[in-house]
Structure 1
Amino acid sequence: MASLSTGVRYDTSKALDYPSLPRTYESALKLLSLLPTNRDVTSLFEMPRPKSERGEIMDWNSMAIPEVIAWMARAGYGDLPRDLAPLRCIHVAGTKGKGSVSAFATAILVEEVAAGNETVGRVGTYLSPHVVSVRERIWLDGRPISRGLFTKYVFELWARLSEAAAAADPAEQDPYGAHTKPFYFRFLTLLAFHVFLREGVHSAVIECGIGGEYDATNVLPASSVTAAVVTRLGIDHVAMLGRTLSQIAWHKAGIFKPGVAAIALQPDSSGGGEKDNAQTPPGESLQDHEEAFHIVCTRAFKKSVSALYELSPQAVRHWGGVPDAALMGAFQKYNMALAAVAVDYHIRFLCASDGASPDMDSHPFDLTLLPETFTRGLAKATLRGRCESILDESSPTGSTIGYLVDGAHTADSLGEIARYFVAQPEAETSSHRVLLFTVRDREPGDLVRALVAGIEAGIDAGRGGQTRTTKADGYFNHAVFVFPPEAEAARKNALVAMQQACPATKACVCDSVPAAIRLIRSLHNLSQESGAGAVSDEPWTCQVLATGSFVLVREVLKELDAEYEE
């Protein structure tokens, strides 16, 4: 078998008639659909590990980087320090906010270019996951790559890998088949580097997929990285990264490299953050975060970084962030700050004539004195599926159904989006509030409780001296969970958690997102028939918080046709 992706199964039952495939965008998407999904890969970590021919238990993680290096060679990039030399990258890892940090950093760099900063050069960005279009993963100059360029480079990379497979194994009967390609995320990682090099990108922002140490993006050589950023940490992807915050921190800090600056956010020991410390998610106490940050610092030392710049949460709160930013939420100021510090260091590095690392200590970066380009960039940055508001244009006549969709999928992030939802005037004045929720590969009960705790914290924060009768118990009129019929344990777990946390909320489970949206649309008629929650002679309004996974966000946007592409 020509595949280098050990452990991943490919469907070789159908031969691909590659020569006759039209070179269209739709055909490019078809090629991608033939690749094993990320879920095919992560599932390997959830089952007993097989043994090698020598009787050793297979370690999927340790195989990752050597395999990606081999794939890069097949794509024509066999000497990474030399081949990736044109790129200067800000590398971003973390559990929460790494997509936002990447978007903020990109927007600042684009503004710098617009202002005439020639040292930045062309700007490229690699993100994951995508929400409505796979092209969202690869940006050029702050925008998703065009259909034409995406199609061109998918076919170009597919051909390179196919020809390399044929050369490596002359007996291979179908070198153009998907089995001679890496799985989905690795292919797109190769594609991003290929696009950036072919399109003359100089400054790139690279977001890790999962983890850091063994992430496909970590094939970047130190010579191509100006700064490595670790955003806020949380419990996530435990099968691959470990079940404790310290174990996860070890993986995230794996992107640190010799001679490259490292940037990280210190734990918030003041108790002054947006999160109520009494509602800390399991495994994410202040002590857990301090121990995890110690791991980050230790790894920075062991990897011989040029410097570790520790961003103080107190300093970020004193600054307060950029007001009226397109990426909304009080928590975004921490992501803004990380992006601003990273870009400042990146630009100083590019401007250094002697190639030496900039001295940030003698000339520290002051968040309260941001250049105008930084302020404009932070205000303009956008990202699909993050605090995104849309209207259901197909809602019942005379009614308004608004959706706030967000891909939050950790306990801490769900608490944050819940607090943000409560603070919205539309939610406060709505006739009806609905939670639309699902999770993938996680325990729904703990996450439901974290979200409800965020609702309670948001209500308390919003009182501001005024009397408000709303309680978290009855904040949502309905909770609609989405789980397939076979996920019996998850369905029951979610319902029990909601019943315990919010007895006054009517909860149910739907098999799919389309079924859930049909149910939400029908609540207008149901509430009028029961005489609850709506007055017949007044417009009926409903606000829906749709969260728990990016898969849910993608399906909601697709169902509502919110500029959905594929």
Structure 2
Amino acid sequence: MAASNWNLLYVHRYAFRRFHSFKRSFATFQKMPSAYQEAIKRLDNLQTNYQVLQSQIRSGGLTQQAKYEQSKKTLNALDRGQLVEKLQKIPLFHVAGTKGKGTTSAMIEFFLREEGFKTGLFTSPHLCKVNERIRINGEPISDEDFALSFHHIYEQLDALHRPAYFSFLTLVAFHAFTTLKVDVIILEVGIGGTFCTTSLYPVGSAKRVCCVTALGYDHMSILGHTIEEISRAKAGIYRKGATLISTKQQYPEAQRTLFEEAEKKKTSLIIAHENLRESIFGKEGSMKCNASVAITAVRCFFGRDVEANVTKKEMEGLNKTFWPGRQQIVWHNTGERKLKILLDGAHTLESLRLCVNWAAKMKEGNLAVLMNVTKDRKVKPLIDIVSDLEPAYLILSPNIAKTTELSQIPDKNFPIEKQIEKIDEIESISISMSLRTLRFQSVDESLNNLPEEITTVLITGSLYLVGAFFQLRPDLPL
């Protein structure tokens, strides 16, 4: 064979080997977890196991204050103190409350964005994807930016000093907001206020506006069993020199406690004015209260009249504000049927009453209520409220989108076996109240097996259950 042919054969063989070597390398690369996937895996491992959590509650474990102080030391140490220095220069809106704090935070964020500010919003929980908790200009943070901030914080801390899920995410949000250079930050409190990690936000030269929305009874094993104790915990976000705002509280004891806590900070407490609240049209009940707090907060920030009636621009902002899963209506097809779906993640007595009032006006035809109750919440009072709707059926399902996902539940805080136990309890109570009750293994299975006469479905009782519905509908905005 001629030398040129041998050379050509060698080239072909070399190219063939290189091609297959590249294919193997690429296949290996594809199997490697991305930085984002690795972040999610690490984050899930920061969830507190249910049994461990219950043991800590029974034994006392580390007190809330001790955990808070640990997280404070961690924050101060990050980036050798530079993260704290950056945060001190960024204005903060801090929102606590039993109900409406997420919606109020979303309204504040939209108003500020309309004023030309680049916003950073931190809320909880998420419906489908953890990125929803950290928003830049109203949009969930990108996978790339989330992974960057997550690993930046994670790698600075050893296993003993990494806080649990929510607290760690708060630190990630702090870093993301400073890295992405937002102009203003809005933080929704997780639980309480005094010892919530969001309260670690450092006092500095920038403005700080602290808001408390409607207060009621929830998380009593953590915050206390009286409305005064709960109110005091919520007022834990108040800081001396900040602008302090509250809605007009339903419980006089709650209002009095908030004034007392403000007095301790030697700072006046502003109650969202009745003139403003009553001038807000097209909104009812709690939504009016939430809107009045949001408008008051933004007006204070800009030094505007807090007593004046709502303006046309403010009303347009309220109508444009979108907060998924809260008094939201969508249409859903199951085969040839078109169902009207009412979504509201109400899970406290007060919020569920408001939800029921809203649903009574929005329902069309025969109504079914698809619900779940999570954690240590008492079932009977919630079922009593739902029964006022006189639903044709009460449908029970765990917080799962599809039945095929039963073995893939990542929630260590409230595992599937505990959800099933809670559903057993709901079913027993519902049957004793002569409510027609059906149970299924997922939201998808529930909606696909509804009795023919059902035309409207209210999904409520848990934001995680509402989130399961959103997982079925990736076409819906979040």
- Normalising by the smaller structure, the TM-score range is 0.7 to 0.9
Q: Residues 16-95 of structure 1 correspond to what in structure 2 (within 5 A)? A: 22-37=33-48, 43=54, 46-50=57-61, 58=62, 60-76=63-79, 78=81, 82-95=85-98
- The Cα offsets for residues 281-336 of structure 1, whole Å up to 9 and x where unpaired, read as xxxxxxxx11121111111111222x210124x43552134x3xxxx764211111
* Corresponding position: 1:318 with 2:278: yes
* Corresponding position: 1:302 with 2:264: yes
User: In structure 2, what is the equivalent of residue 498 of structure 1?
Assistant: 430
* Corresponding position: 1:513 with 2:442: yes
Q: 1:251 Cα deviation (Å)? A: 0.3
User: In structure 2, what is the equivalent of residue 109 of structure 1?
Assistant: 112
Amino acid at match of 1:414: L
**Cα distance in 2, alignment partners of residues 295 and 201 from structure 1:** 34
**Cα distance in 2, alignment partners of residues 140 and 562 from structure 1:** 21
The answer on whether the counterparts of 2:332 and 2:340 sit within 8 Å (CA) in structure 1 is yes
**Cα distance in 1, alignment partners of residues 294 and 186 from structure 2:** 10
Q: 1:23 Cα deviation (Å)? A: 4.2
Amino acid at match of 2:358: Y
* Corresponding position: 1:452 with 2:387: yes
- The Cα offsets for residues 459-517 of structure 1, whole Å up to 9 and x where unpaired, read as xxxxxxxxxxxxxxxx311101236666687445423543465x3x411344x324xx4
**Cα distance in 2, alignment partners of residues 244 and 234 from structure 1:** 10
> Please, what is the CA RMSD of the aligned residues?
2.7
User: In structure 2, what is the equivalent of residue 99 of structure 1?
Assistant: 102
SS of the residue corresponding to residue 94 of structure 2 reads strand
**Cα distance in 2, alignment partners of residues 149 and 310 from structure 1:** 38
> CA distance change for structure 1 residues 251 and 41 in 2, over 3 Å: closer, same or farther?
farther
**Cα distance in 2, alignment partners of residues 443 and 130 from structure 1:** 23
> CA distance change for structure 1 residues 546 and 157 in 2, over 3 Å: closer, same or farther?
same
Q: Which has the higher helix share?
A: 2
**Cα distance in 2, alignment partners of residues 37 and 77 from structure 1:** 28
SS of the residue corresponding to residue 121 of structure 2 reads strand
| Paired-residue identity, % | 27
The answer on whether the counterparts of 2:276 and 2:307 sit within 8 Å (CA) in structure 1 is no
**Cα distance in 2, alignment partners of residues 309 and 220 from structure 1:** 22
- The Cα offsets for residues 118-140 of structure 1, whole Å up to 9 and x where unpaired, read as xxx42111111111221111111
**Cα distance in 2, alignment partners of residues 342 and 302 from structure 1:** 21
Q: 1:240 Cα deviation (Å)? A: 0.8
The answer on whether the counterparts of 1:45 and 1:240 sit within 8 Å (CA) in structure 2 is no
> CA distance change for structure 1 residues 298 and 79 in 2, over 3 Å: closer, same or farther?
farther
SS of the residue corresponding to residue 78 of structure 1 reads helix
Of stretches 484-493 and 61-70 in structure 1, the one that deviates more from structure 2 is 484-493
**Cα distance in 2, alignment partners of residues 452 and 318 from structure 1:** 30
Larger CA Rg, structure 1 vs 2: 2
Amino acid at match of 2:370: L
**Cα distance in 1, alignment partners of residues 84 and 35 from structure 2:** 33
* Corresponding position: 1:436 with 2:370: yes
> CA distance change for structure 1 residues 158 and 491 in 2, over 3 Å: closer, same or farther?
closer
* Corresponding position: 1:340 with 2:295: yes
- The Cα offsets for residues 49-71 of structure 1, whole Å up to 9 and x where unpaired, read as 25xxxxxxx5x211132111122
Q: 1:86 Cα deviation (Å)? A: 2.2
> CA distance change for structure 1 residues 38 and 261 in 2, over 3 Å: closer, same or farther?
farther
The answer on whether the counterparts of 2:120 and 2:182 sit within 8 Å (CA) in structure 1 is yes
SS of the residue corresponding to residue 222 of structure 1 reads coil
**Cα distance in 2, alignment partners of residues 38 and 229 from structure 1:** 32
The answer on whether the counterparts of 1:42 and 1:240 sit within 8 Å (CA) in structure 2 is no
User: In structure 1, what is the equivalent of residue 354 of structure 2?
Assistant: 416
The one of 114, 127, 140 aligned to 2:123: 127
**Cα distance in 1, alignment partners of residues 223 and 193 from structure 2:** 10
**Cα distance in 2, alignment partners of residues 303 and 212 from structure 1:** 15
Q: Residues 390-401 of structure 1 correspond to what in structure 2 (within 5 A)? A: 390-393=330-333, 395-396=334-335, 398-401=336-339
Aligned residues between the structures: 429
User: In structure 2, what is the equivalent of residue 143 of structure 1?
Assistant: 139
**Cα distance in 2, alignment partners of residues 23 and 561 from structure 1:** 22
Q: 1:257 Cα deviation (Å)? A: 0.6
User: In structure 2, what is the equivalent of residue 476 of structure 1?
Assistant: 391
Q: Residues 532-543 of structure 1 correspond to what in structure 2 (within 5 A)? A: 533=453, 542-543=455-456
> CA distance change for structure 1 residues 376 and 102 in 2, over 3 Å: closer, same or farther?
same
Q: Which runs of 5+ in 2 are unaligned?
A: 1-30, 399-415
**Cα distance in 2, alignment partners of residues 228 and 560 from structure 1:** 35
> CA distance change for structure 1 residues 560 and 123 in 2, over 3 Å: closer, same or farther?
closer
Amino acid at match of 1:440: T
User: In structure 1, what is the equivalent of residue 305 of structure 2?
Assistant: 364
Q: 1:201 Cα deviation (Å)? A: 1.4
* Corresponding position: 1:200 with 2:200: no
Q: Which runs of 5+ in 1 are unaligned?
A: 1-19, 51-57, 114-120, 166-177, 269-288, 349-362, 456-474, 528-532, 534-540
The one of 439, 450, 456 aligned to 1:523: 450
Of stretches 196-205 and 328-337 in structure 1, the one that deviates more from structure 2 is 328-337
**Cα distance in 1, alignment partners of residues 231 and 52 from structure 2:** 21
> CA distance change for structure 1 residues 346 and 496 in 2, over 3 Å: closer, same or farther?
same
Q: 1:364 Cα deviation (Å)? A: 3.4
